[in-house]
């Protein structure tokens, strides 16, 4: 039996549109998981949340997506929603 989500946040990881085409072409060597160029991944796929982690007994939740950010969230009391706290950029 699948569990139903208790909270859905639309556009939780929006795609950053700041200069997506300005990728350094100096280093054309393959990366560990192929070439990491924004034009290789559809923009909709970059915003899909791939993982969610929560700390038991805390109101802190972390979510990660293909846009290169881990977003920390504060869960509001009584399941009234969540608000973003910080965005941590992956290196």
Please list the pLDDT of the chain residue by residue as tens digits (91 residues): 788 877 778 777 776 544 333 344 444 444 444 444 555 555 666 667 777 888 888 989 898 888 788 889 998 887 678 888 998 888 7
Rounded-to-integer distance, Cα 74 and Cα 68, Å: 20
SS3 35: coil
What residues contact 10, with CB distance under 8 A and at least 6 apart? none
Give the model's pLDDT for residue 34. Answer: 44
Give the model's pLDDT for residue 37. Answer: 54
Give the model's pLDDT for residue 40. Answer: 53
Rounded-to-integer distance, Cα 12 and Cα 16, Å: 12
């Amino acid at each position: 039996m699948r569990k139903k989500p208790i909270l859905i946040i639309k556009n939780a990881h929006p795609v950053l549109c700041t200069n997506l085409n300005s990728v350094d072409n100096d280093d054309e060597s393959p990366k560990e998981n192929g070439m990491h160029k924004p034009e290789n991944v559809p923009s909709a796929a970059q915003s899909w949340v791939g993982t969610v982690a929560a700390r038991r007994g805390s109101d802190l939740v972390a979510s990660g997506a293909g846009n290169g950010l881990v977003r920390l969230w504060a869960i509001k009391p009584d399941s009234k929603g969540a608000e973003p706290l910080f965005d941590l950029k992956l290196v």
